[in-house]
Amino acid sequence: MEQELATLAATVAELQAKAAATGSIFSETFYYLTIPLMVLIHVGFLAYEMGASRSKNALASGIKNILAFAMIVPFFYYVGWWIYWAFPTGLSGAMGAMEISGFAYANEIASPTSPYMGPNLGDQASGVFWGAFVLFAATTASILSGAVIERIQLTGFIALAVVLGAFIWILAAAWGWHADGWLVTKLGYHDFGASGVVHMIAGFFALGVLINLGPRIGKFNADGSANQIAGHSMPMTLIGLMLIIAGFWGFLMGCVIVPGEAWSWSGKIETSIYGTPMTMSGMTFNVLMAFAGGIIGAWMTTRDPFWMMSGALGGIISAAAGIDLWWPPLAFVIGFIGASMMPFVASFIERMKIDDAVGAFTVHGFLGLWGVLAVGIVGSGYPALFGEADVIEISFMGQLGGAAVMALLGFVPGYAVSFVLKAMGMLRVPESAELLGLDLTKVPSSAYPESIHPSVSPAE
């Protein structure tokens, strides 16, 4: 009998070891796949922004996007990742209740000299998790990139992109997207899919930059009326937007759980980054319903293909903050309402004489705000964070407070840094270069050398 029990115990132990190994492989693969999927976001932004540019600026629009991505990676390695772990409780760098934050913790796991920041063969988590966050950082820069096409200097844009992606955005993530984040622990802020900590931050940062950058030549007439400056390829723009939607699945996969030191898997994906319960099934229902609601809402209010596909993205952003909470029909309604508001917000921004070339503030800034507030309107009373201590609940005032922080944290640095760049003559290209086209004067090359010749008309 004892021999049989020993054999059974050995068999159970062997099965548990095999299950743990399988779970580890699954976890590594799951998070690793977020990275190439999120790269699709940047493939999409590349096509989207080049298509939305006139032919004389197509390559310049693409090049600045690619260079910003590349520049953010080393800055995020040396500084950005450390910020995320150092400052969740505030700028003091104190350790939080979960004991996964503060200066000492950041120095241990996120300092460039830490073994976790290199090819440590015993660590299967850090590099993959870092890589996913790098792609979040690059996404903020791509959001900014579309707003400023056709007239921003490359060096000025790179400086802005690095400040946004490697410093400002990650500070917002530390405060509102971390179990020790003070917005979460003090206000009950809930933002699963990053409506606030990615989209609001980038959208409001872009708004601050646009005020100092000014409109493209020919955008506004002397009487204040606006001219439409159409991009050279609407099909390319629509394909780009659809690729962004495809990449958004990787974006949301990266929001699911925070792997611990052991990188273990319980057998199913069951928690959000806040430790609150969710499932991949529920997230899939809600992403697709919000996607559909956004397309239908934008099409019904505009009949415009550009806004229709922007509505797909806008619908997901609208529902993203609570996409782990919604009953699917509610995700559809929230996406529908958000996308229906887009053209009216874009018109208001244009009446303010702000030239947002692709509606970046409308889609990301305003709909990010709507997404955060929707959680406060519908999700009040739901647990914002699970833990051993008293569970804090979501409230409208907590979401409103978090949204105010995101708006200010995005807008103020965007305005301030672009103001300094403008004073230094590093923000906007010369008028002659803008009229002739940035591909010819700044790249220099031509996207369509054999068939399309750029116009020099200021009203184009």
The amino acid at residue 302 is T
Domain assignment present for residue 175? The answer is yes
**How much is the pLDDT for 179?**
85
- Residue span of the structural domain in which 280 resides: 26-219+229-254+274-442
DSSP letter assigned to residue 390 = P
Domain assignment present for residue 10? The answer is no
Domain assignment present for residue 13? The answer is no
User: How many other C-beta atoms are found inside a 10 Å radius of the C-beta of residue 209?
Assistant: 28
Domain assignment present for residue 356? The answer is yes
Q: How are the residues of the chain apportioned to helix, strand and coil, as percentages rounded to the nearest 5?
A: 65, 0, 30
Closest CA to 340 of 303, 374, 369: 303
Spatial distance between the Cα atoms of 131 and 73, rounded to a whole number of angstroms: 9
Closest CA to 290 of 240, 235, 334, 245: 334
Q: Is the CB of residue 429 less than 8 Å from the CB of residue 440?
A: no
Using DSSP, state whether 428 is helix, strand or coil: strand
pTM of the complete model: 0.91
- β-pair type (392-393, 383-385): antiparallel
For the CA atoms of 255, 258, 259, 264, what is the dihedral angle to 10 degrees? -80
> Which secondary-structure segment (H or E) carries 383?
strand 383-385
**How much is the pLDDT for 86?**
96
Using DSSP, state whether 384 is helix, strand or coil: strand
Q: What is the pLDDT along the chain (460 residues), one digit of tens a residue?
A: 666 656 655 555 555 455 454 556 666 777 788 889 989 999 999 999 999 999 999 999 999 999 999 999 999 999 999 999 999 999 988 998 888 899 999 999 999 999 999 988 777 778 888 998 999 999 999 999 999 999 999 999 999 999 999 999 999 999 999 889 999 999 999 999 999 999 999 999 999 999 999 999 999 998 889 999 999 999 999 999 999 999 988 888 877 764 444 444 455 566 777 877 888 888 999 999 999 999 999 999 999 999 999 999 999 999 999 999 999 999 999 999 999 999 999 999 999 999 999 999 999 999 999 999 999 999 999 888 776 556 788 999 999 999 999 999 999 999 999 999 999 999 999 999 999 999 989 888 888 887 655 544 444 4
Q: Can you give the CATH number for the domain in which 332 is found?
A: 1.10.3430.10
CA distances from 373 to 197, 338, 348 (A): 13, 11, 20
Please, which residues have CB within 8 angstroms of residue 354's CB and are 6 or more apart in sequence? 207, 210, 211, 215, 361
Q: Compute φ and ψ for 277, nearest 5 degrees.
A: -70, 140
**Number of domain units in the chain:** 1
Rg (CA), the chain: 23
Spatial distance between the Cα atoms of 408 and 402, rounded to a whole number of angstroms: 10
The amino acid at residue 381 is G
Domain assignment present for residue 96? The answer is yes
Helices (H) and strands (E) in the chain, counts: 18, 2
> Which secondary-structure segment (H or E) carries 392?
strand 392-393
Domain assignment present for residue 375? The answer is yes
Q: Count Cα atoms within 13 angstroms, Cβ side, for 119.
A: 0
CA distances from 169 to 76, 145, 433 (A): 11, 15, 32
Spatial distance between the Cα atoms of 2 and 7, rounded to a whole number of angstroms: 9
**How much is the pLDDT for 315?**
97
Domain assignment present for residue 5? The answer is no
Domain assignment present for residue 118? The answer is yes
Q: Is the CB of residue 339 less than 8 Å from the CB of residue 306?
A: no
**How much is the pLDDT for 119?**
86
Spatial distance between the Cα atoms of 72 and 95, rounded to a whole number of angstroms: 27
Closest CA to 133 of 157, 93, 107, 166: 166
